[in-house]
């Protein structure tokens, strides 16, 4: 099943069902894609406006990068589900004998890294999309400035959600070097991204009240 081909209603139904996918990773990717889409919408409405005529190339660049990020995040909805399937099967492997226990653990360790890859990408792309909102907030039409705020809050939620999906996987890994490197990288992106998202949101509120 291609999750991205489902309607909004169907996706929500599948998310609520007793199935391993879609789960938090897919939800994070979708929310992140929506946040990126709102950035592009604001840029599309702002480009060519008399007040921002000098920023036409900037707006077009933001639109181009925003579309790339949105498409990458949409792709990761299905990729996350695809990557989780081997891990789900690994957890069900028999461990009755010592040999089976060793085989299961080896398989789990391999599958945990595969399952962790999509959330790491979601984390990276949502962080980049927050940077885009920071670029658009001062050069967007005031009539739709609230959509910058909505978009950046979607991205902040996706950022934290992807981080949780990274953490739930690495906590069961025995590769200490990989765990340390991954944890440091993801934690920094969350801290920096959330801080910037809050700053953009506060700026939105100020602009709305001017």
Distance CA 152, CA 156 (A): 6
pLDDT more than 90, % of the chain: 89
C-beta atoms surrounding 180 within 10 Å:
11
What's the pLDDT band for 48 if we cut at 50, 70, 90? Answer: confident
Residue in this structure with the two tokens 């489902």, named with its chain if needed = 6
- Whether 3 is covered by a domain: the verdict is no
Phi-psi label, residue 170: left if phi above 0, alpha if psi -120 to 50, beta otherwise: alpha
127: enclosing H helix or E strand: helix 98-136
Q: Which pLDDT belongs to residue 10?
A: 96
Q: Provide the whole-model pTM.
A: 0.94
Mean pLDDT of the chain: 95
CA-to-CA distance for 170 and 119, rounded, in angstroms?
11
The reply to whether 151 falls in a domain is yes
CATH number at residue 67: 1.20.120.680
CB 97 within 8 A of CB 116: no
Percent of the chain with pLDDT over 70: 100
Closest of 167, 162, 183, 201 to residue 80, by C-alpha? 162
Who contacts 146 (Cβ-Cβ below 8 Å, separation ≥6)?
204, 208
* Domain annotation covers residue 27: yes
Q: From CA 28, how far away is CA 178, in angstroms rounded?
A: 23
Distances (CA, A) of 76 to 25, 37, 64, 162, 209: 9, 15, 19, 11, 37
For the chain, the maximum distance between any two Cα atoms, rounded to a whole number of angstroms, is 73
CA distance 14 to 46: 36
Residue 6: helix, strand or coil by DSSP?
coil
Does residue 12 fall inside a structural domain?
no
Taking only the tens place, the pLDDT of each residue in 163-189 is 999 999 999 999 999 999 999 999 999
pLDDT of residue 79: 97
Domain limits for position 40: 19-208
8 found inside a domain: no
27: DSSP letter? H
Please check the confidence at residue 38 and state whether its pLDDT lies above 80: yes
Is 50 a member of any domain?
Answer: yes
User: What average pLDDT does the segment 15-37 reach?
Assistant: 95
Residue 99 lies in a domain: yes
Q: Above 70 in pLDDT, residue 1?
A: no
Residue 85 within a domain: yes
User: Total domain count for the chain?
Assistant: 1
Q: Is the pLDDT of residue 55 over 90?
A: yes
* Segment 95-108 mean pLDDT: 92
Q: Which of 132, 134, 136 is nearest to 52 (CA)?
A: 136
């Amino acid at each position: 099943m291609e999750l991205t081909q489902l309607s909004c209603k169907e996706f929500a139904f599948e998310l609520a069902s007793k199935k391993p996918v879609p789960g938090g990773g897919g939800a994070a990717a979708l929310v992140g894609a929506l946040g990126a889409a709102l950035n592009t919408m604001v840029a599309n409405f702002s480009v060519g406006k008399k007040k921002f005529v000098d920023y036409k190339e900037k707006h077009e660049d933001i639109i181009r990068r925003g579309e790339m990020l949105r498409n990458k995040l949409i792709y990761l909805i299905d990729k996350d589900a695809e990557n989780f399937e081997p891990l789900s099967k690994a957890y069900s492997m028999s461990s009755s004998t010592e040999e089976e226990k060793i085989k299961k653990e080896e398989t789990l360790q391999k599958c945990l890294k595969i399952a962790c890859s999509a959330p790491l990408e979601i984390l990276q792309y949502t962080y980049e999309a927050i940077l885009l909102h920071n670029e658009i907030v001062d050069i967007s039409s005031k009539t739709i400035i609230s959509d910058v705020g909505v978009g950046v809050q979607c991205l902040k939620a996706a950022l934290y959600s992807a981080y949780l999906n990274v953490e739930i996987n690495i906590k069961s890994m025995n590769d200490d070097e990989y765990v340390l490197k991954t944890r440091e990288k993801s934690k920094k992106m969350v801290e920096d991204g959330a801080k910037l998202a809050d700053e953009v949101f506060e700026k939105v509120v100020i602009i709305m009240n001017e």
